[in-house]
Amino acid sequence: MVTENSVLVIGAGISGSSTAYHLNKQGWDVTVVDQEKENSLPIYNNPAVCINPNIMINDKRFNRLMFSSISYVWQLIEEIKLGESSAQQVGSIYILEKNEGMDRFNRLIKNNPDLKNYISVISPKKIWGRYKIEGSVGLYFSSGGWINPKDLCKRLLINKNIHKEFNTKVTAVEYMENMWSVSTSNNNKFKAKNIVFCSAADIKNYHYFSHLDFDQYRGQINWVDSEQIQFAEILSNDGYVIPVFKNMSIVGSSYDKNNSCNADSEVDTKNNLKKLAALLPTLNYNSLGVHSGSWVGQRAASFDRRPFVGRILDHEHNKYLNKKNSVASLKWQKSLYINACYGSRGFSFAPLASLSLANMMCRSLGNMDNFILDYLNPERRYFRSKGLKKHGIKF
Does 338 lie in the same domain as 318? Answer: yes
Does 370 lie in the same domain as 263? Answer: no
- pTM across the whole model: 0.93
Segment holding 138, helix H or strand E: strand 136-141
> Which of 299, 326, 361 is the C-terminal boundary of a domain?
299
pLDDT band (50, 70, 90) for residue 28: very high
Does 335 lie in the same domain as 203? Answer: yes
pLDDT band (50, 70, 90) for residue 390: very low
> Which of 276, 299, 322 is the C-terminal boundary of a domain?
299
Task: For residue 159, report the phi and psi dihedrals to the nearest 5 degrees.
Answer: -60, 130
Say if residue 289's pLDDT is above 60. Answer: no
Task: For residue 387, report the phi and psi dihedrals to the nearest 5 degrees.
Answer: 70, 30
Share of the chain above pLDDT 70, in %: 92
Asked if 346 contacts 9 with a C-beta cutoff of 8 angstroms, the reply is no
Point out the least confidently predicted range of 59-63, 207-211, 269-273: 269-273
Handedness of CA 192, 33, 256, 248 (dihedral sign): positive
**123 inside domain:** no
pLDDT at res. 391? 42
**For residue 254, what are the domain limits?**
215-299
Q: In the predicted model, what is the mean pLDDT of residues 122-129?
A: 96
Q: In the predicted model, what is the mean pLDDT of residues 231-247?
A: 85
Q: What's the pLDDT tens digit per position in 39-56?
A: 889 999 999 999 988 888
Does 340 lie in the same domain as 311? Answer: yes
**60 inside domain:** no
What is the distance between the alpha carbons of residues 249 and 246, in angstroms, rounded to a whole number? 8
**323 inside domain:** yes
Q: In the predicted model, what is the mean pLDDT of residues 154-159?
A: 97
What is the distance between the alpha carbons of residues 307 and 216, in angstroms, rounded to a whole number? 13
pLDDT at res. 372? 97
Three-state DSSP state, 208: helix
> Which of 299, 324, 359 is the C-terminal boundary of a domain?
299
pLDDT at res. 395? 39
- Which residues have a Cβ under 8 Å from the Cβ of 341 and sit 6 or more positions away? 200, 212, 214, 300, 301, 302, 307, 308
Q: CA-based angle 225:240:289, to the nearest 5? A: 20
Instruction: Return the exposure string of 345-380: e unless at least 16 CB atoms fall within 10 Å of the residue's CB, then b.
Output: bbbbbbbbbbbbbbbbbeeeeeebbebbbebbbbbb
Say if residue 353's pLDDT is above 90. Answer: yes
Domains contained in the chain, number? 2
pLDDT at res. 326? 63
- Which residues have a Cβ under 8 Å from the Cβ of 77 and sit 6 or more positions away? 87, 147, 152
* CATH, residue 249: 3.30.9.10
pLDDT at res. 394? 44
Does 308 lie in the same domain as 196? Answer: yes
Q: How far is CA 171 from the centre of its chain?
A: 26
Q: In the predicted model, what is the mean pLDDT of residues 182-209?
A: 93
What is the distance between the alpha carbons of residues 231 and 237, in angstroms, rounded to a whole number? 17
**Between 2 and 23, where is the model more confident?**
23
What is the distance between the alpha carbons of residues 275 and 253, in angstroms, rounded to a whole number? 9
Q: What's the pLDDT tens digit per position in 52-73?
A: 888 888 889 999 999 999 999 9
Q: What's the pLDDT tens digit per position in 72-116?
A: 999 999 999 999 999 999 999 999 999 999 999 999 999 888 888
Say if residue 291's pLDDT is above 70. Answer: no
* CATH, residue 35: 3.50.50.60
